[in-house]
Structure 1
């Protein structure tokens, strides 16, 4: 019976007709490498399609841009991307643009269960000390990069929900694993009801000289390097880190004062590359967190009703199932502390959903177990529910 219910659930998922969405992307042509530019532009176009369809950016991992033919074509891909068609492609001033449309199944899932957005606490990117002394306007450019990164996170509600943004940057990554830092991170996560913390550091904004020649004047090259860190809120531990870097032509004099948010920068090769790397870092976060189960806190107890700190803005629905987590800590003979979370056998079933919280009751009242404020609950998957026995 349970197997039949699961089959019906899957069939219902795919009974809704797929829908066509259109998107465009632009990439810089480096050293006449048009093949790479086509791949990057097509990926950015497909990314915009997924955002419109409110599909997880983790679906980009299904796309194989190296298979792009040179003409209009149909590419058979995997669910939730059914087909991709290149509509238009053109090149101008060293930049290549592609417009495509894709047949998307918005209801399709990449994991065992439908996707639920992860609650994030964002901290502003800091500017590494060795970058702050090079060039002018770096502080304003860092602020603009922060703004665009936050916007890129907000544009993917299928993957993320920003719970809070701190006014100041986090301490340097070298301190993340110190005891006092972990304690602070856990407190920050607890106070903002955020499951994960995202931090970053801009490592390079320096200039380099591109010598001229008999038929070419001297120009400037500008570098960019960004380090992104993802930390788990409950444990305070670093779970993902990655560096992103590029270098492109800087179309202005090194002393030219340019508004950091102007189209002059963001439509230039340098700006297009910065935006591509910002998007790539967000895509990587979506991929890392795509099948991670959502955790929330018990925030209120009222009779048999348990209120948890996750709601419709994260994608919760009535009928969703959560398990109650208990923390189990011990100290070994050498004085080292260890902590693990164990799931209670009793399950909580969501009955009512609000934007930032939800009400739930024990799915089986005979399995009632003690619950306290600030206890952790964790999303149960369809697969786990149907394999429970």
Structure 2
């Protein structure tokens, strides 16, 4: 029997996003379009059975990424609806799947599908692996405001406080790396910058933050109460942005704000690493914001898939940039995929995932890496460094 060509099981996840649009806050409501192909042998002239088998094979690849609930497969042949009888259920929402092409060749039927997929809002299956996050030092928008207390270097301390709060309060994610430089977001380069930071640190997600406000509120004091010395109130405003480091996609952004009494003399320098600052009312207010960020980001990433990057291909062995620190164990199985960025004439950016049909199995684990081989012993054609794996 003629073997099925492994290259026909390519799946293209086309996630449309615009860097300057309202996707900042509404990404959860966007659909993703999947295009997939599948092939099956026609036995005893049973074309309908071959069509079902090829369709199910293609859908199986899609579900690895979509986590979808397929309510119906609209089987289209030459634009005519023939039947609607295939039901597959999982954890997401698929409004419809249309058969957009059929090719008969050498006793095989190849079908091409298009799926319209919406994520469910309330349910998901949390990944068993923690999500790795990289961040940098966090710049101050208005450095003049840091003069009070001499807080010019607070941006080097804030990511450490945030990292500790992830350790204390997050369950699905952690700040794995703090890169020792300031990163100021540039809208025109943020996609490439996020991907570069993720690659540099072997992290999946990129968190950036900017201190927007450190101002001291003016305290009105009556001239008849000159003996009173009221404690001034100091503001703290902090904008946080989260990116998918493998695609550069902007996933989430939020501005956090608070204020608290500034318990120090306005001419006093305060050590940003001292307990004096972090045990004060102002330090406690900042720490409370960091706790909220850790919890919010963790909730955002809880349902996101865990990916790993291939850092070396040697013969039939793949070295991955994830290991026991991320919960990887011998015997774990992953799906291989390649990722490409596409641009259309309108300037919109598409992320395309091409899935490989052969799963791989982990055979060796170290704290930061793992070695995987083909599950069934077949050659892993066209796989190279900087391709990716996803937990099945």
TM range (shorter): 0.5 to 0.7
- In 1, Cα distance between equivalents of 2:197 and 2:285: 32
Structure with bigger helix share is 1
**1:151 corresponds to 2:160:** no
RMSD: 2.8
- In 1, Cα distance between equivalents of 2:350 and 2:159: 36
3-state SS of paired residue (1:274): helix
Are the equivalent residues in 1 in contact too, given 2:127–2:305 (CA < 8 A)?
A: no
3-state SS of paired residue (1:115): coil
How far the C-alpha of 1:313 sits from its partner, in A, is 0.5
Moved more, 317-326 or 129-138: 129-138
- Give the structure-1-normalised TM-score: 0.61
How far the C-alpha of 1:244 sits from its partner, in A, is 1.0
- In 2, Cα distance between equivalents of 1:336 and 1:141: 37
**1:204 corresponds to 2:216:** no
Structure 2, unaligned runs of 5 or more = 1-122
Q: Which residue of 2 aligns with 1:112?
A: 125
Are the equivalent residues in 1 in contact too, given 2:151–2:270 (CA < 8 A)?
A: no
1:1-389 maps to which residues of 2 (within 5 A)?
112=125, 115-129=128-142, 132=145, 135-155=148-168, 158-172=171-185, 175-176=186-187, 178=188, 180-211=189-220, 217-327=229-339, 330=342, 332=344, 338-365=350-377, 368-380=380-392
How far the C-alpha of 1:367 sits from its partner, in A, is 8.1
Are the equivalent residues in 1 in contact too, given 2:143–2:152 (CA < 8 A)?
A: no
Structure 1, unaligned runs of 5 or more = 1-109, 381-389
- In 2, Cα distance between equivalents of 1:331 and 1:200: 28
How far the C-alpha of 1:157 sits from its partner, in A, is 7.9
How far the C-alpha of 1:223 sits from its partner, in A, is 0.8
Higher relative contact order (CA 8 A, sep 6+): 2
How far the C-alpha of 1:290 sits from its partner, in A, is 1.5
CA offset digits 1:329-383 (Å, max 9, x no partner): 6554557553311322221222221111111122233585432121111122xxx
- In 2, Cα distance between equivalents of 1:203 and 1:350: 45
Instruction: Summarize the Cα distance change of 1:377–1:250 in structure 2 as closer, same or farther, 3 Å threshold.
Output: same
Pair member with larger Rg: 2
How many corresponding residue pairs?
Answer: 267
